[in-house]
């Protein structure tokens, strides 16, 4: 946290814990109900691509929420907007649980994403206010670790809830968790953007700010690495409920356990990253992590084309997800560290790009499968393309730093 003299001190553990709780909003809002997507589709008379639109609308809201929130928080401070976001999230989650028509659910999910995007971008911006450089990469790794229980336990709990009471029960559980998050932000997150450091005009200078960021080729490269590594992960997240359950024959609970095992791999890698990042450096780790990601997706595509045993697919998916323990923290820290005084805007730009791209990809695998392509081939082909862009982005950003 910044002192009046500008000296940096360690972020208090309680604040770090609340930021981790907020960071769990996005994975919980996606991962907990994944095993219920086929059931949701049947209940609301939706195809696979239609059911996946519940993810697309959520992600579209996340993108817009982050794009608007970042510049506004740079101009008007973090806390008030933060509180608005987390309490609106509770209301939208209630609406999702009560929805009886597809378009009502789509609208509720969009608002849920809008509010969640506000919360997530401000969690990153607050962390960026309080830490820089390798310390920020360490903080992001710790956020993944502290919040890591959510994407590990969430799918298992979600699978059990879907099995016992259906997909609506997942949203009611999310109502309770989101309310706890909102109250924690109200109680423990202070204002971290002093008045004297705020920019003027809110949304007005958005395009000027973004134009300045886009002139920094290192920022662009690292941001592409962040956006497209997430896109690789999300191609798996959105398609795997159908592929693992309908193509490979796993039950909803088995799917949830597979998802949790993969996320545990990410948790362990993130723990390792947090311990070594100050010694090794975020740039070197990002190069390694994104190279491993690309290699794993190529392996997956080869296995899908050969119609290999489902265990080959599970091994490849485990490596893909585990590599995110390196990629998410270091790719984002490298990009945000280039932002200077506009960390909120930089975080917003990254986050909106991240979720716009994921929203586009979410129904794409279903559309390709409906057109006759094998579901595993459709998913893994998309993953290879996005992983390649991520790796190129990181290596391009690295080259700019050496010039």
Q: Is there a contact between 344 and 121 (Cβ–Cβ < 8 Å)? A: yes
For residue 63, pLDDT beyond 50? yes
Tell me the percentage of the chain whose pLDDT exceeds 70.
Answer: 91
Q: Can you tell me the mean pLDDT for 265-284?
A: 88
For residue 159, pLDDT beyond 50? yes
Give, in order, the Cα–Cα distances in Å from 277 to each of 139, 170, 264, 269, 286: 10, 36, 20, 12, 10
Question: Rounded CA gap, 259 and 245, in Å?
Answer: 12
Please give the biggest Cα pair distance in the chain. Answer: 63
Region of poorest pLDDT, from 65-69, 88-92, 366-370: 366-370
For the record, the structure tokens of 145 come out as 């670790």
Residue 341 has a pLDDT of 65
Q: How much is the pTM?
A: 0.72
Q: Can you tell me the mean pLDDT for 162-174?
A: 93
Q: Can you tell me the mean pLDDT for 306-316?
A: 92
The CATH number of the structural domain formed by 13-187+206-401 is 1.20.1250.20
Over the stretch 205-242, which tens digit does the pLDDT of each residue have? 666 767 777 788 888 999 999 999 989 988 888 888 88
End-to-end CA distance of the chain: 33
Residue 100 has a pLDDT of 92
Residue 387 has a pLDDT of 96
């Amino acid at each position: 946290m910044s002192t009046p003299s500008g000296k940096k001190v360690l972020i208090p553990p309680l604040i770090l814990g609340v930021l981790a709780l907020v960071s769990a909003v996005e994975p919980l809002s996606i991962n907990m109900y994944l095993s219920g997507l086929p059931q949701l589709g049947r209940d609301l008379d939706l195809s696979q691509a239609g059911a996946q639109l519940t993810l697309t609308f959520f992600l579209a809201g996340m993108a817009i929420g982050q794009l608007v929130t970042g510049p506004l928080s740079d101009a008007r401070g973090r806390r008030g907007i933060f509180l608005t976001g987390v309490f609106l999230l509770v209301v939208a989650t209630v609406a999702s649980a009560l929805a009886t028509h597809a378009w009502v659910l789509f609208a509720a999910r969009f608002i849920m994403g809008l509010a969640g995007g506000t919360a997530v971008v401000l969690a990153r911006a607050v962390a960026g206010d309080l830490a820089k450089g390798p310390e920020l990469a360490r903080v992001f790794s710790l956020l993944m670790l502290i919040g890591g229980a959510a994407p590990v336990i969430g799918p298992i709990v979600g699978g059990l809830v879907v099995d016992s009471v259906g997909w609506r029960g997942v949203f009611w559980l999310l109502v309770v968790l989101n309310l706890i998050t909102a109250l924690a932000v109200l109680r423990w997150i202070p204002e971290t953007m002093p008045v004297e450091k705020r920019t003027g005009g809110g949304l007005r200078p958005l395009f000027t700010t973004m134009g300045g960021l886009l002139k920094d080729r290192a920022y662009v490269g690292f941001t592409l690495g962040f956006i497209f590594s997430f896109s690789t992960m999300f191609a798996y997240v959105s398609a795997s409920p159908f592929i693992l359950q309908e193509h490979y024959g796993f039950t909803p609970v088995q799917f949830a356990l597979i998802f949790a095992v993969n996320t545990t791999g990410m948790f362990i890698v993130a723990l390792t990253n947090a311990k070594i990042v100050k010694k090794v450096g975020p740039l070197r780790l990002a190069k390694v992590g994104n190279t491993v990601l690309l290699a794993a997706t190529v392996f997956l595509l080869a296995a899908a084309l050969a119609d290999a045993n489902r265990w080959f697919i599970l091994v490849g998916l485990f490596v893909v997800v585990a590599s995110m323990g390196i990629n998410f923290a270091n790719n984002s820290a490298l990009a945000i560290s280039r932002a200077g005084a506009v960390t909120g805007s930089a975080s917003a730009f990254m986050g909106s790009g991240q979720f716009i791209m994921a929203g586009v990809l979410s129904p794409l695998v279903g559309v390709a499968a409906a057109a006759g392509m094998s579901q595993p081939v459709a998913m893994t082909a998309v993953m290879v393309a996005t992983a390649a862009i991520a790796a190129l982005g990181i290596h391009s950003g690295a080259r700019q730093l050496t010039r």
